[in-house]
Chain A
Amino acid sequence: MKRALLFVLIASLVFTGLFAQGTKEAAAVKGDKEIVILVKSMGNGFFDAVFKGSQEAAGEIGGIKTTYMGPPQATAEGQIEIIETLIAQRVDGIAISANDSDALIPVTKKAMAAGIKVISFDSGINVGGRIVDLLPSNAELIGRQQIQLAAELTNYTGDIAVLSASAQATNQNLWIDWMKQEIKDAKYSKMKLVEVVYGDDAPDKSYREAVSLMQKYPNLKAIICPTTVGLLATAQAVKDAGKTGVVEVTGLGLPSEMKGYILDGTCRQMALWNPIDLGYTSTYILNALIDGTNNGAVGDVIPAGRMNSVKVEKDGLIYMSTPYVFNKDNIEQFAAIF
């Protein structure tokens, strides 16, 4: 009797397993690839924009359904719970902006073992927990572009200075190294990078440093601030000194925070990664991985619609593109997003 019961139990388990497999096959036949954009938390304009990009890409690719998910609070636990559910639902791909680069690894490994393609973007998962990690840009592209932006504003002449975050900020220092490389080019021969100063990402210190830069270098034509706090403070300092249009301000800044200064001409252009493009590119990458046209190996080139193509580098890192440029024509649109 006991043995019979056990048999029934096993049989039913196997059957359910088969059945589950069966529904999955049916979905695949229908051609609906299901992907999920899993974000840090719901209700964040930045991620709403990411999803907008994903929808745009899904529309172009066709036969792919994208869903927007995220825990109510930005916790790793909340994301783990959602991924467990997604494994049960057997979706085809997940793009994650992780709340913790390590904590998600066990569950994403489980998802990948179940055949789900997992990638991370914006806030990456460490190697082993995803196939590829999409980064908005890399130090070289960012650094070189900063000089280009300043050059356009100053007609390739005059002194320029950099007002950075703290002296030991890794990102900023890398970007500044690339700025120094870029300005060596012959086309910048009439420009001179006179000094790098540090505002420590504090508005008052940044403001004070910006004021001293203007005093020290009468021929100063532009200040580059590769940090949003510094950019805000510098814009205000330039405006207060009545030097709008004399000393140009550019850098990396959040559109919602810089909107006022961009509209009044103090900072005529600045750059930052664009969340729409991140969602858009993530969707193209997932699509290629699901189709099996790429498996995310180092050196793979994955086509990405209007973003052209992206290349998988060491450790599965993908650098999307040069940061997006914001000016008075598009700032209103993006300021509403992030």
Chain B
Amino acid sequence: MPDHSFASFAKKAFARRESTLILLLFVLLVPISVRSPQFLSMKNISTILNDMAILSIVAIGEFYVILSGGIDLSVGSIIAFSGMACGMVNESYPQVSPALLLLLGIVIGLAMGLVNGILVAYGKIPPIITTLGTVNIYRGMTFLLSKGTWVTAHEMTPAYIALPRTTFLGISILLWIAFFVIALCYYFSRFTRTGREIYAIGGNPTAAKFVGVDENRVRVVVFLVSGALCGLAGALWTARYASAVNEMATGFEMQAVAACVLGGVNFSGGAGGIIGVVLGTLFLGVVTNALPVIYLSVFWQTCVQGLIILLALTLNTLSDQHKNKKLLAQRRG
């Protein structure tokens, strides 16, 4: 007979990675707000959320690829190419509306994701190798496109720069876009056939194939989604930082992967969820934004950042092991 008591509910809730992360987030916030009370001001919270909006979009794209058992290392370069292209189009054709620029970013990202996907699915090149190649190719293409120059604020239209900053119901458009992406992807991964097939391929490719999942199609789809989200992120990035430089988003893949791993996504595929990824992103956001304001020497900041991430991951893994042991015991018993 199922146990409906509150204790059991709490136990179950805390067995989930998401809850561990929420708990950790609060544990982290206490000392920070003691040391720097303005950290919890509404204004600062909205700064952090805005800062994390782009990362959450990219991390969700990365999530699908990792879920399918792969990894996408080219996200930073796709952001750079799409961001640069949007910046340059905005400079040369100021009449093109910002909404169309976002669409352009998505289309560019789709094309780049498609190349990744085809190489992985039909070229049978492991994702890590494929994207290790395309991360450089796409970055090189960015330099070729811009001929090494930048697009800066005064060359961009005020409407494009204002796009992520404009607020609707007190929340910036940038955040609305992130919310929309999160909701859409949540639906996609939970309630659509393709979404569930990604879990299946990542969890057990052989079994998935036997029940009729088209592995190649799924592999292309995950890179398409990742590409499209990165393309969108690139278009937003250029507007948000009011500049398009060739080196933009270098190393961003590491942050995206870190957000996924923190959010409990299994690195060998098949397990994890959107909510976890969003929480992972938030956790990273609090860490990166809090460290500079708590009067910690800059040289310590990166160290401490790494330590906190490592600690969070260790706690996650420990709680997982605990859960597995219990499952094993149940089966034996």
Known: A257-B150, A260-B154, A261-B153. A216 touches B44 (CB 8 A): no
A229, B250: Cα distance in complex, Å: 15
Q: Which of A189-219 contact B (CB under 8 A)?
A: 196-198, 201-204, 207-209, 211-213, 215-216
Interfacial chain B residues near A263, Cβ < 8 Å: 154
CB A220 to nearest CB in B, in angstroms, measures 13
B256 adjacent to chain A (CB < 8 Å)? no
Interfacial chain A residues near B242, Cβ < 8 Å: 232, 236
Q: Which of A198, A216, A233 contacts B241 (CB 8 A)?
A: A233
Interfacial chain A residues near B38, Cβ < 8 Å: 215
Known: A197-B298, A211-B47. A203 touches B154 (CB 8 A): no
Interfacial chain B residues near A258, Cβ < 8 Å: 152
- Give the number of residues in A that approach B within 8 Å (Cβ atoms): 29
Is A208 a contact partner of B154 (Cβ separation < 8 A)?
Answer: no
Is B153 a contact partner of A233 (Cβ separation < 8 A)?
Answer: no
B217 adjacent to chain A (CB < 8 Å)? no
Known: A204-B248, A215-B38, A216-B292. A259 touches B154 (CB 8 A): yes
Interfacial chain B residues near A259, Cβ < 8 Å: 154
Is A208 a contact partner of B289 (Cβ separation < 8 A)?
Answer: yes
A20 adjacent to chain B (CB < 8 Å)? no
Q: Which residue of B lies closest to A204 (CB)?
A: B241
Q: Which of B152, B288, B298 contacts A257 (CB 8 A)?
A: B152
Is A232 a contact partner of B243 (Cβ separation < 8 A)?
Answer: yes
Q: Which of A204, A208, A209, A233 has the most chain B CB within a 10 Å cutoff?
A: A204
Binding site for A on B (CB under 8 A): 36, 38-39, 44, 47, 51, 150, 152-154, 165, 237, 241-243, 245, 247-250, 288-289, 292-293, 295, 298-299
A10 adjacent to chain B (CB < 8 Å)? no
Is B247 a contact partner of A202 (Cβ separation < 8 A)?
Answer: yes
Q: Which of A212, A229, A232, A233 has the most chain B CB within a 10 Å cutoff?
A: A212
Interfacial chain A residues near B44, Cβ < 8 Å: 215
Q: Which residue of A lies closest to B161 (CB)?
A: A236
Is A216 a contact partner of B248 (Cβ separation < 8 A)?
Answer: no
Q: Which residue of B lies closest to A212 (CB)?
A: B292
Interfacial chain B residues near A229, Cβ < 8 Å: 245
Interfacial chain A residues near B241, Cβ < 8 Å: 203-204, 207, 233, 236
Is A197 a contact partner of B292 (Cβ separation < 8 A)?
Answer: yes
The proximity string for A residues 236-261 relative to B, scoring 1 for CB distances below 8 Å and 0 otherwise, is: 10001000000000000000111111
A32, B250: Cα distance in complex, Å: 53
Is A232 a contact partner of B298 (Cβ separation < 8 A)?
Answer: no
Is B153 a contact partner of A260 (Cβ separation < 8 A)?
Answer: yes
Is B293 a contact partner of A203 (Cβ separation < 8 A)?
Answer: no
CB B246 to nearest CB in A, in angstroms, measures 11
CB A219 to nearest CB in B, in angstroms, measures 13
Task: Label chain A's interface by main secondary structure.
Answer: helix
Q: Which of B39, B51, B153, B165 contacts A208 (CB 8 A)?
A: B51
Q: Which residue of B lies closest to A257 (CB)?
A: B152
A27 adjacent to chain B (CB < 8 Å)? no
The proximity string for A residues 168-205 relative to B, scoring 1 for CB distances below 8 Å and 0 otherwise, is: 00000000000000000000000000001110011110
Is A212 a contact partner of B289 (Cβ separation < 8 A)?
Answer: yes
A127 adjacent to chain B (CB < 8 Å)? no
CB A53 to nearest CB in B, in angstroms, measures 23
CB B47 to nearest CB in A, in angstroms, measures 6
Interfacial chain A residues near B289, Cβ < 8 Å: 208, 212
Is B299 a contact partner of A167 (Cβ separation < 8 A)?
Answer: yes
Q: Which residue of A lies closest to B291 (CB)?
A: A212
Known: A197-B292, A240-B165. A216 touches B36 (CB 8 A): yes
A208, B287: Cα distance in complex, Å: 12
Is B298 a contact partner of A167 (Cβ separation < 8 A)?
Answer: yes
Is B292 a contact partner of A203 (Cβ separation < 8 A)?
Answer: no
Interfacial chain B residues near A232, Cβ < 8 Å: 152-153, 242-243
Interfacial chain B residues near A240, Cβ < 8 Å: 165
Interfacial chain B residues near A260, Cβ < 8 Å: 152-154
Interfacial chain A residues near B150, Cβ < 8 Å: 257
Interfacial chain B residues near A197, Cβ < 8 Å: 292, 298
Q: Which of B47, B237, B295 contacts A216 (CB 8 A)?
A: B295
Q: Which of A42-95 contact B (CB under 8 A)?
A: none
A235, B237: Cα distance in complex, Å: 16
Q: List 30 A-B contacts (CB under 8 A).
A: A167-B298, A167-B299, A202-B250, A203-B243, A204-B237, A204-B248, A204-B249, A208-B51, A208-B288, A208-B289, A209-B292, A211-B47, A212-B292, A212-B293, A213-B292, A216-B295, A232-B242, A232-B243, A233-B241, A235-B153, A236-B153, A236-B243, A240-B165, A256-B152, A257-B150, A257-B152, A259-B154, A260-B152, A261-B153, A263-B154
Given A216-B293, A236-B242, 13 additional A-B pairs, CB 8 A? A167-B298, A198-B298, A203-B245, A203-B248, A209-B292, A212-B289, A213-B292, A229-B245, A232-B152, A235-B153, A236-B241, A260-B154, A261-B153
Q: Which residue of B lies closest to A335 (CB)?
A: B154
Known: A215-B38, A261-B153. A233 touches B298 (CB 8 A): no
Known: A202-B250, A233-B243, A260-B153. A208 touches B292 (CB 8 A): yes
